[in-house]
Amino acid sequence: MGSKNKQKRFKENEIFANVFQPTREEIVDGVYQYKGNWNKEVFKNNNPLVLELGCGKGEYTVELAKKYPDKNFIGIDIKGARFWRGAKSALEDNLNNAAFLRTQIELVDKVFAENEVDEIWITFPDPQIKYKRTKHRMTNTKFLQRYKTILKPEGIMNLKTDSEFMHGYTLGLLHGEGHEVLYANHNIYKQEGSPEEVTRIQTFYESQYLKEDKAITYIRFKIN
């Protein structure tokens, strides 16, 4: 993407009503204004709140919002020029239950309050395969504890990935730490029983992986 294109998207994000871009200082040095108030102040209702972490272009956030109008969805990514597409689509489709937040995933417990979130989706994260990158894996122990803080007691986690390594690493960690695995599938398009929103909604990159006959995996779990 050219720098002019990026700048244009950054400018549009600034005026999109469904995009929130707090500074790191706003989050770390104080109490972020929407922490604990996303439903009340942003969505103006008390519907279940669902997050997509590392949302990329925001395809999942937008499609889930269309499928479940009685739920609120927030796509989170640090790359605003990327989720610009999802934010623009949500506005064009008049989706009042979809929003986008530009911040780092490790700050998620600074922008959402304890027990504020009902469900979290992690779609096609970087598997961070090298051992020294373990601390950056989005399903490592520290990240799971951050998610647990903001999730309601019965909150649900979803991991969808094309990485066999990430799938195996996460399953091993979940079993090892005593978390509750509700469903696991190492090839959702070739095995029966996959939830509809897992196979019906596809990201751009996912469609490319499928053309290469690459297996897509999925885990649904609770953090104990």
Per-residue pLDDT of the chain (224 residues; tens, 9 = 90+): 566 788 888 787 787 899 999 998 889 887 899 999 999 999 999 999 999 999 999 999 999 999 999 999 999 999 888 898 999 999 999 999 999 999 999 999 999 999 999 999 999 999 999 989 999 999 999 999 999 999 999 999 999 999 999 999 999 999 999 999 999 999 999 988 888 889 999 888 898 889 999 999 999 999 99
Domain contains 25: no
Query: For residue 120, which amino acid is it?
Result: I
Write the burial class of residue 15 (CB in 10 Å: 0-12 exposed, 13-18 middle, 19+ buried). exposed
> Is residue 29 flagged as an active site residue?
no
Note the pLDDT of residue 7.
84
Domain contains 43: yes
- Domain containing 133 equals 31-222
- What is the rounded end-to-end Cα distance, in angstroms, of the chain? 41
CATH code: domain of residue 36: 3.40.50.150
Domain contains 1: no
Phi, psi dihedrals of residue 120, rounded to the nearest 5°: -130, 135
* Greatest Cα-to-Cα distance within the chain, rounded to the nearest angstrom: 49
Domain contains 10: no
Please identify which of the residues 109, 126, 162, 213 carries the catalytic annotation. Answer: 126
Domain contains 158: yes
Q: Full-prediction pTM beyond 0.85?
A: yes
Note the pLDDT of residue 128.
93
Note the pLDDT of residue 2.
62
Number of domains forming the structure of the chain: 1
Q: Are 100 and 83 in contact (CB under 8 A)?
A: yes
Phi, psi dihedrals of residue 200, rounded to the nearest 5°: -75, -35
Domain contains 70: yes
